[in-house]
């Protein structure tokens, strides 16, 4: 789960990481009020969307008067913002963060994430602050430093010193900079993040060490111990189909292809997606209806698949173990009848009650192809998908 910059900065503050003074505005007038309430003679107006790359895309605007703050806010709030991370349709800007403008002496990148090959969290630090870290890793890999965290989120003082020395942080700012890195690691662990990033972390003209930007992704598997996350969710930003699926306890992730997949079991779902790729197709989604899904759940799953306009063919791949193939077949027939199926279907059923399942489908009058084996099923789907 992603949260907005202003929300992430709230969490930073609680963990002792300083951020510029500022407040959130949902209208141009509120933005002006926010500017008048802040000390100083310069402001930054920042579009709040759940994607990065805002600076380059014109989503971060500098202002010298409250009037200018207001007009910048009017411009940002009026249109979706398209950045390198949003896709061509961009994201709606429902709020802007108005902050004091600070002079930047030095910019650093600092981020904590999980290194899966190490099986632990790592702190990444780079002197190329402000640039996207993927870009830094490509073009300036020598400027990137890594420190492994202890399994309880501890970054040892010697590690904090090592990276800040490598960054060439001036002596006066060293203790505070080291503190920020340690706080960031602690925050990552305590708040159950999958990413906690400051880009840029800066030394300001007046000597303050500030997180100018803030990005936090939460680890969804920890949601059960963070009831407060619910209130931080932005309904605008969620995919409506994914939200619908999670309401019905389905594991559904939307993808860009045109072959809708209905599969039971995460492993089989992944194998199915692999097979589609092998035979030259693109899956429209990952969908695991679960090991023991009901007819009801299958019917919901079907509805979700078919409401994606990109889906040109549906591939059903079921191995009936706990899940019985006749139950799947009934769910499919029911949903198809209710929804009026317009796309062709390829079905591969094996396991418990497969014969009965196939018979139910064959007798249903639906437009479908029964395939033998996964490869054949995937091939037929690709042919019908018209890629
Ligand atoms: P992102 O592009 O979505 O990552 O948005 P950021 O919050 O990182 O802002 C983009 C860039 O705007 C930063 O890298 C800074 O260089 C610049 N910026 C943001 N706030 C300030 C500020 O108060 N003063 C100055 N001088 N630059 C700022
Ligand atoms: Mn940034």
**Residue 108 reports pLDDT greater than 90:** yes
**Residue 282 reports pLDDT greater than 90:** yes
Same domain, 274 and 301: yes
Choose the weakest-confidence range: 127-141, 308-322, 355-369: 127-141
**Closest listed ligand to the CA of 44:** 1
Residue-averaged pLDDT of the chain: 92
- Give the other-Cβ count within 10 Å of 203's Cβ: 23
Same domain, 188 and 303: no
Give me the pLDDT at residue 264, please: 86
**Residue 386 reports pLDDT greater than 70:** no
Cis peptide before 200 (omega within 30 of 0): yes
DSSP string, 188-219: HHHTTEEEEEEEEEEEETTS-EEESS-EEEE-
Ion ligand 2: residues, CB within 5 A, are: 199, 213
Give the domain extent around 94. 21-101
C-beta of residue 326 within 8 angstroms of C-beta of residue 356: yes
Same domain, 82 and 201: no
90 touches ligand 1 (CB under 6 Å)? no
Instruction: Out of 236, 265, 291, pick the residue that ends a domain.
Output: 236
**Closest listed ligand to the CA of 208:** 1
Same domain, 198 and 297: no
| Ligand 1 center–CA 56 separation, angstroms | 9
The model's pTM is 0.79
Q: Which residues are catalytic?
A: 109, 197
- % of the chain residues with pLDDT over 90: 71
Give me the pLDDT at residue 299, please: 83
| Ligand 1 center–CA 120 separation, angstroms | 30
| Ligand 2 center–CA 136 separation, angstroms | 13
- In ligand 1, the atom with minimum distance to the C-alpha of 57 is 2
Which position has the higher pLDDT, 297 or 258?
258
**Residue 387 reports pLDDT greater than 60:** no
Instruction: Out of 72, 101, 130, pick the residue that ends a domain.
Output: 101
Give me the pLDDT at residue 144, please: 92
**Residue 195 reports pLDDT greater than 90:** yes
β-bridge pairing 313-320 and 259-263? parallel
| Ligand 1 center–CA 165 separation, angstroms | 24
Q: What is the pLDDT averaged over residues 136-153?
A: 91
pLDDT, tens only, 36-81? 999 888 999 999 999 999 999 999 999 999 999 999 999 999 899 9
Q: What is the pLDDT averaged over residues 23-33?
A: 98
130 touches ligand 1 (CB under 6 Å)? yes
Number of domains in the chain: 3
104 touches ligand 1 (CB under 6 Å)? yes
Give me the pLDDT at residue 8, please: 98
Same domain, 223 and 255: no
Q: Cβ neighbours of residue 353 under 8 Å, at least 6 residues apart?
A: 320, 324, 325, 326, 327
């Amino acid at each position: 789960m992603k949260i907005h910059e202003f929300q992430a900065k709230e969490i930073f503050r609680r963990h002792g990481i300083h951020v510029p003074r500022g407040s959130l505005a949902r209208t141009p007038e509120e933005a002006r009020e926010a500017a008048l309430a802040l000390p100083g003679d310069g402001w930054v107006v920042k579009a709040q969307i759940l994607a990065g790359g805002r600076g380059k895309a014109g989503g971060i605007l500098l202002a010298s008067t409250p009037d200018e703050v207001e007009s910048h806010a009017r411009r940002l709030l009026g249109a979706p913002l398209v950045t390198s991370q949003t896709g061509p349709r961009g994201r709606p800007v429902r709020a802007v963060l108005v902050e004091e403008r600070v002079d930047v002496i030095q910019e650093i990148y600092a981020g904590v994430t999980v290194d899966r090959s190490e099986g632990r969290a790592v702190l990444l630090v780079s002197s190329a602050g402000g640039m996207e870290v993927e870009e830094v890793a490509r073009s300036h890999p020598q400027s990137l430093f890594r420190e492994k965290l202890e399994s309880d989120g501890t970054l040892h003082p010697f590690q904090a010193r090592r990276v800040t020395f490598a960054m060439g942080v001036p002596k006066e700012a060293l203790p505070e900079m080291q503190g920020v890195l340690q706080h960031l690691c602690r925050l990552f662990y305590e708040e159950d993040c999958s990413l906690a990033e400051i880009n840029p972390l800066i030394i300001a003209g007046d000597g303050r060490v500030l997180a100018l930007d803030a990005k936090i992704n939460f680890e969804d598997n920890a949601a059960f111990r963070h009831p407060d996350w619910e209130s931080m969710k932005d309904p605008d930003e969620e995919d409506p189909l994914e939200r619908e699926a999670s309401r019905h306890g389905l594991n559904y992730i939307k993808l860009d292809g045109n072959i809708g997949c209905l599969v039971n079991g995460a492993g089989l779902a992944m194998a199915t997606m692999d097979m589609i790729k092998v035979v030259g197709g693109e899956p429209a989604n990952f969908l695991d209806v679960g090991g023991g899904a009901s007819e009801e759940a299958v019917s919901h799953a079907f509805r979700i698949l078919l409401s994606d306009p990109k889906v040109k063919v549906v591939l059903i791949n079921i191995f009936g173990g706990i899940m019985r193939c006749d139950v799947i077949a009934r769910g499919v027939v029911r949903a198809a009848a209710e929804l009026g199926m317009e796309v062709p279907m390829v079905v591969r059923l094996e396991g418990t009650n497969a014969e009965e399942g196939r018979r139910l489908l064959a007798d249903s009058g639906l437009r479908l192809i029964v395939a033998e084996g996964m490869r054949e099923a995937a091939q037929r789907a690709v042919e019908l998908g018209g890629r």
